[in-house]
Homo-oligomer: A and B are copies of this chain.
Amino acid sequence: MELSLQKIAELVGGKVDGDDKLLVHDLAEIQHAEPGELTFLSNPKYIKFLATTRATAILVDDNFMESYPNLIRVQNVNFAYSRALAIFRPEAPKPAPGIDSTALIAKDAVLGNDIHIGAHVVIAEKCVIGNRVCILPNSVIGKETQIGDDAVIYPNVTVYHRCHVGKRVIIHSGAVVGSDGFGFVRVENSIEKIPQAGGVFIGDDVEIGANTAIDRGTLGNTIIGKGTKIDNLVQIAHNVKIGEYCFLAGQSGVAGSTVIEDGVTIAGQVGIAGHLHIGAGAIIAAQAGVSKDIPTGAVVIGSPAQEKGKVWREMANIRSIPDIKEKIKRLEQLASQKIIRNRNAQESEND
């Protein structure tokens, strides 16, 4: 498919700055783009490729200052880029409705219309599967679990019993939803397991990454709010409540009963202790270790995590120690000179 820059600008909501009749047939990364391809520039790190890219045109922000023969200026490059991707690289159509003959579906499961159930899928008793749900090969859905309309469950996923998966939720391969929370009590010379009797409630439009684990609640539910996006290998412990439209990047972990409000951004490998409250819109930097409540909108870094400015001041302070030592040395020299001078003075007085 070939499209003119003019047409693309229309489709992504932008304005051509250059020759709007030029045609492009695909998208490419700026460092690899060839004539006939469109690229994009949002991260300033990649401006260096402006000199060498062979792209026919570049998607850039409205206020982009560098010059290039053909630009398409837009309000939000990432959004426009996402749209352009959807145009040039349309997703494969969803698998056709149908239930593979090797799938095992309990007789009392309730099945929606136009669902696709892949090979060797197991759907246990009393499950409710929404319309147009797609469950890919070798995934297992436990008893009494509900899967909302248009959800997509990739291969080798496990959803335990009595969980709720919202509409349009995407669960990637290897993810586990509803495993037992890590609840035990030390008793004398042994350890007793605390029953994990709650469930997991996953709101609409959530995405769950590969090999992520979300434990069921002990009593109530573990909750993932609408629109929240969870990356790969993330650990969500029992009774955690996550608000709407949060991001949890790869390998982050949230311990039991912590409450995360809406719009929080959690970077990679962050750890959040249990029973904490993370205010709406907070941003937690990569590898931070959160051991205290975080106020609304705060930006924290480090382990233990602290307000960004505070950590930077501490780091600057540590780096100033050599200077401190230098100053002390001078003061000590001064003091010893004075002592000598004083002694000399005294001695001369005594002369």
Q: A331 to chain B: which residues have CB within 8 Å?
A: 328, 331-332, 335
A146 proximal to B (CB < 8 A): no
Contacts A197-B89, A232-B235 given; indicate if A173 touches B176 (C-beta within 8 A): yes
Majority secondary structure of chain A interface residues (helix, strand, loop or mixed): loop
Instruction: Check if B176 sits within 8 Å of A210, measured CB to CB.
Output: yes
Any chain B CB within 8 A of the CB of A340?
no
**Distance in Å: Cβ of A36 to nearest Cβ of chain B:** 15
Q: Which of A46-90 contact B (CB under 8 A)?
A: 46, 76, 78-79, 81-82, 85-86, 89
Whether the pair A185, B79 counts as a contact (CB closer than 8 A) is yes
Question: Interface segment, A3-11, A107-115, A266-274?
Answer: A266-274
Interface status of A122 (Cβ within 8 A of chain B): yes
A320 at the interface (CB under 8 A from B): yes
Q: Given the interface contacts A187-B76, A286-B289, does A173 sit within 8 Å of B155 by beta carbon?
A: no
User: Does A118 lie at the interface of the complex (its beta carbon under 8 Å from any beta carbon of B)?
Assistant: yes
- Stretch of A14-22, A24-32, A127-135 lying at the B interface: A24-32
- Bound CA–CA A271/B325 (angstroms): 34
Report B-chain residues with C-beta under 8 Å of the C-beta of A170: 180
**On chain A, which size bracket covers the interface?**
35 or more
* Contact flags A186-222 to B (C-beta < 8 A → 1, else 0): 1101111111010000000101011111010011100
Whether A137 is near chain B, meaning CB under 8 Å from some CB there, is yes
A145 interfacial by beta-carbon distance below 8 Å? no
How far apart are A156's CB and chain B's nearest CB, in angstroms? 5
A179 touches B185 (CB 8 A): no
Whether a CB of chain B sits under 8 angstroms from the CB of A308 is no
Smallest Cβ distance from A143 to chain B, in angstroms?
8
CB distance from A288 to the nearest CB of B (A): 9
Contacting residues, chain B, for A156 (C-beta < 8 A): 138, 140, 156-158, 174, 176
Question: CA A158 – CA B122 in complex, angstroms?
Answer: 17
Instruction: Give Cα A192 to B81, complex, Å.
Output: 11
Contact A191 B232 (CB under 8 A): no
Docked-complex contact B251 and A189, CB < 8 angstroms? no
With A76-B187, A179-B210, A331-B328 in contact, is A89–B119 under 8 Å at CB? no
**A280-295 residues at the B interface, CB under 8 angstroms:** 286-287, 289, 291
A163: B residues at CB distance < 8 A: none
With both chains docked as a complex, state the minimum distance between the C-beta of A338 and any C-beta of chain B, in angstroms: 7
Closest to A161 in B: B92
Report if A319 contacts B (CB, 8 A): yes
Does A147 sit within 8 A of B, measured CB to CB?
Answer: no
Q: Are B78 and A185 in contact (CB under 8 A)?
A: yes
Among the listed B142, B173, B232, B269, which residue makes an inter-chain contact with A158, where contact means beta carbons less than 8 Å apart?
B173
1/0 per residue, CB under 8 A from B, across A133-174: the answer is: 000111010110000000000111110110000000010111
Whether A194 lies near B85 (C-beta < 8 A) is yes
Interface residues in A227-276 (C-beta closer than 8 Å to B): 227, 229, 231-233, 235, 237, 239, 245, 247, 249-251, 253, 255, 268-269, 271, 273, 275
Top 4 A-B pairs, shortest CB-CB distance: A89-B197, A158-B173, A140-B155, A317-B321
Other 6 A-B pairs with CB < 8 A, given A211-B233, A338-B338: A82-B185, A156-B156, A213-B232, A215-B232, A269-B269, A314-B319
